[in-house]
Amino acid sequence: QVQLVESGGDSVQAGGSLRLSCVASRATSGFPFMAWFRQAPGKEREGVAATYPYNPNIGDTYYADSVKGRFAISLEVANNTLYLQMHLLKPEDTATYYCAASGGPVYGPTKLRTRDYNYWGQGTQVTVS
């Protein structure tokens, strides 16, 4: 059973920064893709950023247009930890942020299709005011 545990959510002022962490219960290199998603109240869950854990040195990262240039996804293989560094936060970034990992192929140009991800964390709340 794979477990993903997020942390780092907080309430911040617009323009501020946060770093979210996600610790996996097994080696991240075993996942074809890992990603961050978010869900605001009354809205569908949407992809934020994805990365290719098998070889993080490749630098394969994918971002939703709404966060490009502000968010950065990264992986610390030694600690099985996925990060999301968020800068220049806006009120519209307010949501519950979820870490996700795929158990198989991930499709599409952005690698951010919710249905391609099998394992999910419990979420961490980010509020920007």
How far apart are alpha carbons 29 and 8 in whole angstroms?
A: 23
pLDDT tens for 15-66 read 999 999 999 999 888 888 999 999 999 999 999 999 987 665 656 889 999 9
pLDDT for 68-88, tens place per residue?
999 999 999 889 999 999 999
